[in-house]
Structure 1
Amino acid sequence: MIEEPKTLRIARDLRRPTDAQIAAFQGQPTGFVLDAMMGAGAMSAAITPCPGLSAQACGPALVAGNRPGDLLATLASIHFAQAGDIVVAAAEGHQGCAAAGDRVMGMLKNAGAAGFVTDGPLRDLAGLQAVGLPAWCTGLTPGSPVARGPGTLGLPAYVGGQRVENGDMIVADADGVVVVPFAILDAVIAAVAKVAEAEHALDAEVADGLKSVGLIAEMLDSGEGIDWV
């Protein structure tokens, strides 16, 4: 006899970063965070901010793994979301129907979630805008999902080309979504501080009239790497 699989698999340990680690990423642009990880961590450019909503969110990932066209795990995330969580709802890239709609967003906001990220589209734009929960998705569609499962909550999933584990930091803004793995949070926090310092210094130089790129100036001066034709 083959045992019927369970509809939901839920991790017992829904790990989260410390409050200090979470605070360290607040307000950091995705570009700074990405540079601090040497260019790694960006989700697909197809995942963009939902129109008319705030394009700024940062918090620990609560990962909901769904089958294409299903949202059972996302519904389960409503019962486990903690204040400040970013629900990352994997839909295996399915574009045939919405990964969620305005009522799900409303309940997640009521539960304290700080944002929502999915590799599928959303629906009910007017309702989404009324709720106001920041959300990143692949677009909009009127298609409605089902809630049959199976699904997972708190277990790893692939979203937008990135493996996301529970407790990873999600940093999202108008440029897109970046995933910072839990295991390297402290190293990235240290690195992003240096990136921010360098970027702000360069911003000041540009504002003061800088019009020369060091790398190109050196190549022109030395002649190395240039082929005049």
Structure 2
Amino acid sequence: MSNIGFRIFPNVDKPAKTLIDGFKGIPVANIADNMNRMSCMNSKIRPVNDTPLLGPAFTVKSRPGDNLLLSKALDLAEPGDIIVVDVQGDLTNAVMGELMTLWAKQRGIGGFIIDGAIRDLGALKKMDIPIYAVGVTPMGPYKDGPGEINVPISCGGIVVHPGDILVGDEDGIVVIKAQDAEELLEKSKATSRKEDKIKEAIANKAWDRTWVDQFLDKLNAEVVKNR
């Protein structure tokens, strides 16, 4: 009989590493623009340090205030995996701190996204492993369960499935489904090339701004010259 709500699925189907690595260095905003701006975690999920994030999702669903399943995930996740933890945004107890992060670094874990609280902020800021979280508190976690590993979860208002590609920078996190990744990568590269051309035009004071009036005309905006 399946113990729903207290289960561990150790194996994750992941996109090819070469496909994941293709997103390296592409701004999250450029990727999100090619997803109709609908696939970013909300602004509550903020970076703790300056290390960019990229890798496949290894998901954890925990009871608020508890990190038993996250502790197990540290031993199951593979090098490069991004551990994504759903504790429903609860900030009462931190579910991760310095010691767990040090162990994750030793194992080659690719980073963390915590929809909840962390602690030991001073130490985590100095580490070269990407960490995103909602908040900080010194109050530590319980280790009683229940919870699940590698099931669909909610993080930052977005559904995350095991194996989804996660890209993060100082702006935030975008979530990419594996089946969309190849086409999205090409579109995102094209957007970056387009923006490079715009930056060059700006530097030369030659940015074409006619599109603004075209949009206003299309939307029937009224220009009132006399008041």
- Please report the TM-score for the alignment, with normalisation by the length of structure 2: 0.90
Contact 1:81 1:108 in 2 (8 A): no
**3-state SS of 2:125 partner:** helix
**3-state SS of 1:104 partner:** helix
Unaligned segments of structure 2, at least 5 residues: none
The letter of the residue matching 1:24 is G
- Rounded to whole Å, the distance in 2 between the matches of 1:41 and 1:227 is 34
Cα pair distance change 1:55/1:6, threshold 3 Å: same
Report the equivalent of 2:103. Answer: 107
| Count of aligned residue pairs for this structure pair | 224
Deviation of 1:130 after TM superposition, in Å, equals: 4.6
Report the equivalent of 1:134. Answer: 130
- Rounded to whole Å, the distance in 2 between the matches of 1:161 and 1:224 is 31
Report the equivalent of 2:62. Answer: 66
Contact 1:7 1:149 in 2 (8 A): no
Report the equivalent of 1:228. Answer: 223
**3-state SS of 2:214 partner:** helix
Cα pair distance change 1:4/1:63, threshold 3 Å: closer
Contact 2:91 2:136 in 1 (8 A): no
Q: 1:25 aligns with which of 13, 23, 36?
A: 23
Cα pair distance change 1:186/1:198, threshold 3 Å: same
Contact 2:10 2:76 in 1 (8 A): no
Q: Does 1:204 align with 2:200?
A: yes
Give the superposed CA RMSD.
Answer: 2.1
The letter of the residue matching 2:94 is A
Unaligned segments of structure 1, at least 5 residues: none
The letter of the residue matching 1:185 is A
Report the equivalent of 1:170. Answer: 166
**3-state SS of 1:121 partner:** strand
**3-state SS of 1:129 partner:** helix
The letter of the residue matching 2:221 is I
Over 6 Å off, 4+ runs: none
Contact 2:201 2:207 in 1 (8 A): no
Q: Does 1:80 align with 2:56?
A: no
Q: 1:119 aligns with which of 112, 115, 121?
A: 115
- Rounded to whole Å, the distance in 2 between the matches of 1:196 and 1:219 is 23
How much identity, in percent, do the aligned residues show?
A: 28
Q: 1:11 aligns with which of 9, 25, 40?
A: 9
